[in-house]
Amino acid sequence: MVARAPKLFVGVGNVLAGDDGVGVRAAEIMMGLPLTPDVDVYEAGTALLELAAVLELRERVVVVDAIDAGAEPGQIFRLRPEQIRSQEGLPLSLHQLGLLHALDETHLRGRAPGEVVLLAVQVGNLSGGMKLSPAVKASLLRLLEAAVDELDLGLDLRDCLPVSPASREPALNR
């Protein structure tokens, strides 16, 4: 059996649906960071059927997805699976159903991950296209910093990402 990294970053979403692709865009950026071997990055997209196998036996998992909670676009929420389950009515994101089913499957197999955190970004535009709205794009650095903190990676993203000469801030061209 292949040894797997104890920490996992999962990006979820549809890049063809505007802000819904924020999780995948975040995963693409994470893949370019100087990560240690104890971290894996998985770009799930919308194909969540095989997610259970990817989640199995991880110590810490951070999932990034888009939600519509009726908040200000770009606002970031930190949620636990039990918070998602306890919601009245429909989930804030259709992807959350796939995530919850994958977690249930790992529990049934006795191979559940240790800690799972969902970092969810309030969408501003779902009308299509491959670009993030300005508000969601502006939240990307904070989102990635939150993920790096959750995974205890000890990275300063300002040292790892290319810098825009105009703003002297990390350039996140997504």
> Is residue 27 predicted with pLDDT exceeding 90?
yes
> Is residue 49 predicted with pLDDT exceeding 90?
no
Query: Could you state, in order of their start, the residue ranges of all structural domains in the chain?
Result: 7-160
Write out 140-168 in H/E/C secondary structure: HHHHHHHHHHHCCCCCCHHHHCCECCCCC
Amino acid letter, 158: R
- Domain 7-160 sits in CATH 3.40.50.1450: yes
Cite the beta strand spans of 13-103 per DSSP E. 39-45, 60-67, 76-79
Q: Which segment of 42-46, 48-52, 66-70, 169-173 scores lowest on mean pLDDT? A: 169-173
pLDDT at position 76: 96
pLDDT at position 30: 94
DSSP state of 20: G
Phi, psi of 97 (to 5 degrees): -60, -45
- Cβ–Cβ under 8 Å, residues 35 and 86: no
pLDDT at position 63: 96
Give the pLDDT confidence of 118-141 residue by residue, as tens digits: 999 999 987 878 899 999 999 999
Q: What is the pTM of this model?
A: 0.88
The residue with tokens 């999780």 is: 23
pLDDT at position 95: 54
pLDDT at position 160: 79
The Cα–Cα gap between 47 and 100 comes to: 14
In the predicted model, what is the mean pLDDT of the chain? 85
Q: Which helix (H) or strand (E) holds 96?
A: helix 94-108
Phi, psi of 118 (to 5 degrees): -105, 120
Chain length of the chain: 174
